[in-house]
């Protein structure tokens, strides 16, 4: 390993592994993963040490649906185990795609996946107000039955049916962080914190227990980047740059902004919840926790964004005190 290499956490979305509704099979997902990994390999070949993270929303949904369909014959899969399953499967796709890409380029690098647990606070307010929909849509009668029989929290979802909702607590600590650090020191490219990590809580004796919850993958990626003292947090998404007034006639791309400006734009409501907002929040948190640079761009532009040619760059800023009152 080059001891002078810079470290980056690259977060890719679970939806980025699925191009559209017609390409959702495992082989389709692998093809999309391989395409993204080509761009990450470009980055690695220029000298970066990389830890890759990902979302897993669609993949967990598939497992839950299969589990529901087979419930008459087999036990259903708990949500924390769905997270573990998807970490293994997505990690396998990334490992194979990067291995093949390195083989094609004659690059000598190893890749490993770490099934990652992420500690959350058992007193997190999110447990009192579950709001993250998971699994299939249901008729109200079925939803109420599962609410009664299995203790689910269910809510009606925008007129489309009823769904189970689970908490989305804030990540506190990455349990396998020391192992991830050790792998990076040995020059290994790592896939970790898949889907935001498997949420676990500590009991009063310090033992870990998995919980039915979902951790935001961008928040977990930010926490990982902080723990690794990464040089950059790079969040890969569907657009080349972040925009103000997105989707309107007044939309304008943001090339660079300070974390203070980003916080102001967040307060002004420029970024949609469940879309760009959590990505901006994760970048701001990384900078506030000591990071120097966060970048948001799409996979084909990763190398150009790292060179400062495109993407949205978020850097450290300083709060400007309000002007003195006039007397």
Q: Identify whether the C-beta of residue 241 lies closer than 8 Å to the C-beta of residue 311.
A: yes
Q: Identify whether the C-beta of residue 20 lies closer than 8 Å to the C-beta of residue 44.
A: no
Catalytic-labelled residue, pool 6, 15, 161, 210 = 15
Please list, in sequence order, all residues whose beta carbon lies within 8 angstroms of the beta carbon of residue 48, skipping any fewer than 6 positions away: 5, 6, 7, 8, 306
Among 174, 254, 257, which residue's Cα sits nearest to residue 219? Answer: 174
> How far apart are alpha carbons 135 and 165 in whole angstroms?
9
Please list, in sequence order, all residues whose beta carbon lies within 8 angstroms of the beta carbon of residue 169, skipping any fewer than 6 positions away: 120, 121, 124, 126, 127, 199, 213, 215
Catalytic-labelled residue, pool 55, 83, 195, 279 = 279
Six token digits for residue 1: 């390993």
Six token digits for residue 247: 């989707």
Whether 279 is catalytic: yes
Among 101, 125, 98, which residue's Cα sits nearest to residue 111? Answer: 98
Residue 132: how many CB atoms within 10 A of its CB? 18
> How far apart are alpha carbons 154 and 144 in whole angstroms?
7
Please list, in sequence order, all residues whose beta carbon lies within 8 angstroms of the beta carbon of residue 196, skipping any fewer than 6 positions away: 55, 56, 118, 171, 214, 215, 216, 217, 219, 220
Q: What's the chain's length in residues?
A: 327
Whether 132 is catalytic: yes
Residue 234: how many CB atoms within 10 A of its CB? 27
Residue 3: how many CB atoms within 10 A of its CB? 6
What SS3 class is residue 264?
helix
Q: Identify whether the C-beta of residue 236 lies closer than 8 Å to the C-beta of residue 43.
A: no
Six token digits for residue 269: 């409501």
Catalytic-labelled residue, pool 55, 56, 135, 217 = 217
Catalytic-labelled residue, pool 13, 132, 195, 197 = 132
Whether 181 is catalytic: no
Residues annotated as catalytic (active site), given as ranges:
14-15, 132, 217, 279
């Amino acid at each position: 390993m080059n001891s002078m290499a810079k470290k980056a956490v690259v977060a890719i979305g679970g939806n980025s592994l699925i191009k559209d509704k017609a390409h959702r099979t495992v082989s389709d997902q692998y093809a999309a993963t391989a395409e993204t990994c080509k761009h990450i390999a470009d980055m690695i070949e220029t000298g970066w040490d990389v830890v890759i993270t990902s979302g897993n929303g669609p993949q967990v949904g598939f497992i839950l649906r299969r589990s529901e369909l087979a419930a008459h014959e087999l036990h259903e899969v708990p949500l924390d185990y769905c997270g573990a399953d998807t970490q293994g499967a997505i990690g396998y796709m990334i490992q194979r795609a990067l291995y093949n890409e390195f083989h094609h380029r004659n690059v000598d690098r190893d890749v490993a996946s770490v099934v990652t647990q992420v500690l959350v606070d058992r007193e997190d307010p999110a447990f009192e107000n579950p709001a993250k929909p998971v699994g299939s849509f249901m008729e109200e009668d079925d939803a109420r039955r599962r609410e009664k029989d299995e203790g689910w929290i269910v809510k009606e979802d925008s007129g489309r049916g009823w769904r189970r909702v689970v908490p989305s607590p804030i990540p506190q600590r990455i349990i396998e962080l020391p192992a991830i650090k050790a792998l990076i020191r040995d020059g290994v490219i790592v896939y970790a914190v898949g889907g935001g990590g498997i949420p676990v809580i500590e009991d009063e004796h310090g033992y870990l227990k998995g919980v039915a919850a979902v951790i935001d993958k961008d928040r977990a990626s930010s926490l990982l980047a902080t723990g690794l003292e990464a040089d950059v947090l790079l969040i890969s998404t569907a657009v080349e740059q972040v925009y103000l007034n997105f989707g309107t006639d007044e939309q304008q791309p943001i090339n660079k902004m300070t974390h203070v400006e980003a916080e102001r734009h967040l307060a002004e409501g420029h970024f949609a919840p469940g879309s760009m907002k959590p990505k901006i929040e994760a970048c701001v948190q990384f900078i506030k926790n000591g990071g120097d640079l966060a970048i948001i761009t799409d996979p084909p532009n990763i190398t150009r964004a790292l060179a400062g040619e495109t993407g949205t760059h978020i850097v450290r800023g300083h709060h400007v005190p309000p002007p003195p009152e006039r007397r």
